[in-house]
Structure formats: C-alpha cells, structure tokens
Structure 1
C-alpha cells in the first residue's frame, strides 16, 4: 500500500463514504488513478467500492482497523512499551493498538510475548523478542484463537502484565466486548491476577456491548488518548483505575 492509498483508506474509514471525485481533489490525482487505487484496496479487502463511492468494510481485520487513528494508536503503543522491562514476560491480546505495541516490543531482546493473535505472531516473525502463540479455535476474520482450549493454555502460562483491548465502557457496565468467545479469553487472562492494562483509543468509551470483561477490581490501568472526556477520566479513577493519558497528536 503506497502513501496515497493509505490517505485514501484513512479518509474512507474516518468519513464512512467518500466519492471518487472528492478523493481525486484531495490527493491531486485523476479520477482514473483513484479508481485504480480503489480497485487495489478492494482486492486487498481494505474497503468496498460502490457506484462512484468508496465505503469502509465492517471488518475485524486488524490491519484495516490499525489504519483508523493510526498516529494516536502508535503513540499509545509507544507509551505502553515504555512500561515493559527487559526480561519481562507479558500477554498481548488481539487488536490494533496491541498489534502496534507488539511491533514496538519486537525491537527489544529479552522480552517474551504471549499472544492469542496469529496476526501479532506473524508480525513478529523476524523480531528480536521471544513469542509464544497459544492455540485454540481460529477466528479467521480477527486472526485470533478462542475457545476452551485457549482458556486452558492461558491457565498454563505465566506473565506479569497483560495488555487487552476493549469494545466499550460505561460506569454502569464496566468494560465490555462484542464477541463472546474473545471476551471469555480476556476473562481467563484476568483470572491470572496479573497487572491488567487496557490499551485503547478514547473512541471506545461511552459505548456498551453484550459481554462483560472482568470486574473493575481485576483491571489496574487504562492507557488512552487525550480526547477522553474529563468526566470519563474521573469516573475511571473513581473506580480505582490508574489512567494514563497520551497525547492524541504529538509523538512521544
């Protein structure tokens, strides 16, 4: 994917529906070139084409989701990586922020990453860190493993920190997920009693999904961006969580 195609994809993800003519004006190239770019992105399952427009996929694809608020997620991942010490074994769950964290930690020797994400494992195929990929039922769209076997594997390994993603949070419900089996894996991780860290951009707060992720007492820290409303930050802190706010724009 070239830089122009990255801009096109980010615009489509952010706006939801963008015309070919608008994309051509924005990027300074012809509509013919834009159509070629959209054909390429559609073939690679990054977006869908409709008559005269491009629309985002309703996708669990990690790489596609990573492009949404990429710079924010990169800053969050860089900050989270600073909390990991040499020689530490950590668990990294599925998700775009977590994938960026794994890529950042892959540059460090002496770190062991345990994950349920085959996408993350593949991302680290040439990394300096050690990688343990757990087994289970393979969810093709999310490139993650789930199910009773995965829960058993989680029970058999040990780690000092766990970085997990969420789909929603409200004061009344706590953290929630939209996928029952992936939520069960997170709950198995929380039962280990390690330092549990939520790594997510602020867009997830204020939403609610069907499946509960642990209890407030099982989470220790939230790492999110500066777009988090002050009231939400206060509510999180009132529930006993440390909240680390990372700049939404400036690199760390």
Structure 2
C-alpha cells in the first residue's frame, strides 16, 4: 500500500475519484474504498470526512453512501470541484472577450464561475444570469447584476423555463458566455429540457456568443439534443480536447481557441 501523503492537488484528485466510486455504486464499505485507492483506512476516513463536510456524500458507520436524490454527474457541488485548473485557464481566455461597459450574459455552468470572479474587477459592466452562484460571486462588486427567474433547479443552483426565455427576449447583451454538458461532433446535448431550450435563447439575446467547454464534455451525449455549435462565434476549450471533436466545430464555421493548462497548476 503506497503512502497517502501528497500535494493538495493530489489529495483532491483522490477525493474526486472516491466520490465517483461512491456515486457509481451508491454505497461502498470504507475498508473497500481504502483498498481500491491504495491508502490506509485512516486516510480514507479523513477523505470521507472532507467529502461529507462538503455535502457531497454521506459517511456512515463503516460505509460511504451517495445522495439518493442527486445524480452526481449533474450535481453542481461535484462539478465545481472538478477540473479547476482547466476552468481557471479557460476563464483567463474568456475574460479577454469582455470590455468595460459591456452587458454580459452568463450561463449557470460551473465552468463559468472563475470567469464571474474575474468580472468583479471590470468597470461599468452589467451581468445578467440565471445562476444564483454567479450572483453570489459578484456580491460586493461594482457590476450591476440581474438574476433571471423561473423554476429553481437545486442541482444546478439556477433557474430555467419559459419565463427565463421570455425575459431574454427583452435583453440585448454585448456577449453571452454559455456552457454545454455534452458535445459530440459539433452537436449539443443536455440532460434537462428546460436548460437545453434556455441555452438557445441565450444565443438570440447577444451580439456575440462564446461557448466554453472543457475536454471532459466532448464525445458525450445526453437526453435532449438542441442543435449544433453553428450559432456560436467562438468555442474556447483546453488542449486536451481531441482534434476529432474540434474538426466538426471548425467545419460549422466556428472559431476555436484552445488554452494550455500549466502543468504545475493546482487542480483545486
């Protein structure tokens, strides 16, 4: 059994692996998890205490249990702590698309949370979003923030539905930043119909639309297809995205910008 010590990034990577195991199986004995992760039972208890405190799973007597009412693939808390170094690199590129005085639409995906933090220092901008988390991240910033309202989805900490789409019809933004849950050969998919339809409305409400997607979302599909990437002006992704997925995007006339993630960047 290897030593459990490591950098903060390595520890967080292991905890994310533990979380995926529990999410996939529903319930696992702690001793079995320790064996799978090749760490001591004591180390596994510390990892599970951390995940329990972050409300990502339940730690019981001898077992770890996934939340039965949350699909961990969609749970915002899970996604927010995944691929953080990549999201920070994407945010640096996305922030270059914003100028003082712009009206900015921001989607609810966790990929855009680092961008929201960067926008807090941009003068004179107005931010419009359906994400409660984005509004929290901009609290105290000089930006004027408008929250789009409709049915609240706890897993995404945001609102979506026909009322959100009607509000977007009365908005003209300089730039819209949108995420995607799944992209396959230039086609877009989402597991929730209301979000799929809202993302289309974002495109119609902005002069320029930017799609921000990390490599892990490519080559996947979900329940509801909602067209392709052709409505976007720019796709920003990381260098881990395979060329086989980027070629169809370029063929649809969309500019592709890839960012490099520093090898020593923390993952959390």
TM-score (structure 2 length as normaliser): 0.79
How many residue pairs match? The answer is 244
Per-residue deviation, 1:215 = 4.2
Listed as ranges, the matches of 1:1-252 within 5 Å are 8-14=11-17, 16-17=20-21, 19-20=33-34, 25=39, 31-32=41-42, 34-49=44-59, 51=62, 58-59=71-72, 60-171=74-185, 174-192=187-205, 194-249=207-262
- Output the CA distance in 2 between the equivalents of 1:54 and 1:20: 15
Q: Is the 8 Å Cα contact of residues 171 and 205 (structure 2) preserved in structure 1?
A: no
- Output the CA distance in 2 between the equivalents of 1:45 and 1:77: 26
- Output the CA distance in 1 between the equivalents of 2:44 and 2:142: 39
Q: Which deviates more from structure 2 when the two are superposed, residues 84-93 or residues 16-25?
A: 16-25
Per-residue deviation, 1:5 = 7.7
Per-residue deviation, 1:20 = 3.4
- In structure 1, stretches of 5+ residues that fail to align are none
TM-score (structure 1 length as normaliser): 0.84
Change (3 A) 1:142 1:6: farther
Per-residue deviation, 1:38 = 1.8
Q: Is the 8 Å Cα contact of residues 230 and 249 (structure 2) preserved in structure 1?
A: no
Per-residue deviation, 1:11 = 2.0
Per-residue deviation, 1:135 = 1.0
Q: Deviations over 1:130-179 (max 9, x none)?
A: 211111111112111011111111112220111111122223x7112111
Q: Is the 8 Å Cα contact of residues 176 and 206 (structure 2) preserved in structure 1?
A: no
Q: Is the 8 Å Cα contact of residues 164 and 199 (structure 1) preserved in structure 2?
A: yes
- In structure 2, stretches of 5+ residues that fail to align are 1-5, 22-31
Q: Is the 8 Å Cα contact of residues 14 and 68 (structure 1) preserved in structure 2?
A: no
Q: Is the 8 Å Cα contact of residues 176 and 210 (structure 2) preserved in structure 1?
A: yes
- Output the CA distance in 2 between the equivalents of 1:94 and 1:231: 27
Q: Is the 8 Å Cα contact of residues 223 and 243 (structure 1) preserved in structure 2?
A: yes
Q: Is the 8 Å Cα contact of residues 33 and 44 (structure 2) preserved in structure 1?
A: no
Change (3 A) 1:170 1:64: closer
- Output the CA distance in 2 between the equivalents of 1:241 and 1:80: 16
- Output the CA distance in 2 between the equivalents of 1:97 and 1:48: 26
Q: Which deviates more from structure 2 when the two are superposed, residues 197-206 or residues 231-240?
A: 231-240
Q: CA RMSD in A?
A: 2.8
- Output the CA distance in 2 between the equivalents of 1:199 and 1:14: 24
Per-residue deviation, 1:210 = 2.4
- Output the CA distance in 2 between the equivalents of 1:61 and 1:107: 29
Per-residue deviation, 1:24 = 8.4
